[in-house]
Amino acid sequence: MGVEIERKFLVKNDQWRKLAEGELYRQGYIPTLESTVRIRVIRDRGFITIKGRTQGISRAEYEYEIPLEDATQMLDTLCKPPLIEKHRHKIELNGLVWEVDEFLGANRGLTIAEVELKSADQSIDLPDWIGEDVSHDPRYYNSNLAQHPYTTW
Question: What amino acid positions are annotated as catalytic residues?
Answer: 29
Q: Can you tell me the distance from the alpha carbon of 59 to that of 51, in angstroms, rounded to the nearest whole number?
A: 7
Please report which helix (H) or strand (E) contains residue 60, including its range. Answer: strand 58-66
Cα torsion 14, 16, 21, 24: sign:
negative
Cis peptide before 138 (omega within 30 of 0): no
DSSP state of 55: B
| Closest to 5 measured CA to CA, from 50, 61, 49, 48 | 61
Q: Which amino acid is at 66?
A: I
Torsion of CA 15, 91, 45, 150, to 10 degrees: -40
